[in-house]
Amino acid sequence: MFQRPEIEIIPFTMAPMPGNKEGVSSTVLSGFNIGIVDDLDEETKKAAITALKFLTSKELQRKFVMKDLILSSILSLYDDEEVCKIANCPLIKNIQPIGRPNNRTNNYDKYSEHYKKYVYEYLYGNSNRTAEEVLADINDITEVYYILSDSSTRTIGIWNIIIISIIMGIMILSLSFLFINKFEQHYKFLTKDLWIISVIGAILMLSSCFTQIGKVTINKCFVLLIFVSLGYTLNLIPIFHKLITLLPNKQICTNYILKKKYIFNICFLIIDIILIGFLFITPYQLENIIIDKGKNFQVCKMNSYFGMSIIITLFTIKTIVILGILILIFMKWNIPTELYELKFIVSTIYINILSLILLFILDTVQIKNYISYSLLRELIIFIISLIKNKNVIKIKKKK
């Protein structure tokens, strides 16, 4: 049996940790967990259960306490006079133990390390920080911040909601120009119904900005992906469809696509919906970004290889469509009647490509400020959706 090493006797004794109210202790309970693995044969399980019964028996626990090796959780032991000659029974019986805050963090050891570091720096370091500042740092170890989580970001969140809502309203109202005769010359590239579908796609993408405001949830991770993916499809496919129908020497295939424009658009939507549906098999997870002496926050993370392959497939389809549009535009570049529209579409596509690259970089490079992270993502999506709303930008008379 292990023997506890001799220690120097000091003129102090232990006492319960004070709580925030008189008569309440805040002593933290710590210990070890013992379990039995599941994949054992019955004979081994029975032997393991017998061993556990022996280790947790009152008789063996009393022996450990008498040797001053442990503090037992069997409180009736501390009514034994012989035990109380060794152990501080009044102390043990009067403490009100509370469990470690394991539910507030996935890594308690890291939490404990930072907790002690901040306290020791305040007590023994050369820091001029106040107790309030140190306690704020300790609270931030497990606190998760997001836009609207406190007063410092509430104004930012409210203004974001207002601005996004106003822009969405302008996009919706801009559709009315399709039905005003003097503006019809600016919308010859697409038919009215396809313009409406395209603008709805831009509005849907802009709506995804709302997911960057408020607490991050798994549902918001899905909504962001759904709105961005479907928004891209609704916005780009009408343009893709139109360019295909403009191909010279029309064959049976292009004639069919020309007549079946709704089927052409719906096919891409169905592909998106099916692929996104597969993600429910392997849902997103929330990853904690821990910032030392800073504001922790959460981000959406897809850790499944299957889920990542689905997202990559969605991204690949969008990339193929964008490349297809650029190739078709190059083939039609020298047609004067459509040059204005094609130049505008090319500029839009280039901004799309740059924005997608920026989104990829933003998800790859770790940003240590939750406000910057949320607002940058929102700004990129905002630019994409605003540039895509060609009705708003193109309302001007060609010279």
pLDDT per residue as tens digits for the range 114-144: 888 888 888 887 777 788 888 888 888 888 8
Whole-angstrom Cα distance, residue 233 to residue 240?
A: 10
Is 60 exceeded by the pLDDT of residue 391? Answer: no
* Residue 254 in this model has a pLDDT that exceeds 70: no
What is the phi/psi pair of residue 284, to 5°? Answer: -65, 160
Answer with the residue of higher pLDDT: 365 or 70.
70
At residue 240, the pLDDT reads 83
> Per mean pLDDT, which range of 91-105, 154-168, 202-216 is the poorest?
91-105
DSSP string, 288-346: EE--TTS--EEEEE---HHHHHHHHHHHHHHHHHHHHHHHHHHHHTT-GGGHHHHHHHH
pLDDT tens, residue by residue, 14-39: 777 777 777 777 777 776 777 788 78
pLDDT the model gives residue 67: 83
Instruction: Tell me the average pLDDT across 147-152.
Output: 80
Residues near 48 by beta carbon (within 8 Å), at least 6 away in sequence = 36, 40
Structure tokens at 2: 């292990």
pLDDT tens sequence across 319-347: 888 888 888 777 765 555 555 566 666 66
Check residues 313 and 241 and name the one with the higher pLDDT: 313
Tokens of 95: 């403490």
Check: CB of residue 66 under 8 Å from CB of residue 83: yes
pLDDT value of position 252: 52
**Rg from Cα positions in the chain:** 33
**pLDDT, tens only, 99-115:** 776 776 777 778 888 88
This prediction's pTM: 0.68
Residue 171 has pLDDT above 70, yes or no: yes
Closest CA to 319 of 308, 330, 327: 327
Tell me what pLDDT residue 388 has. 58
Distances (CA, A) of 236 to 53, 56, 155, 317, 392: 68, 68, 34, 11, 16
- Average pLDDT, whole number, for the chain? 78
The pLDDT tens digits for 197-206 are 888 888 888 8
Average pLDDT over residues 85-103: 79
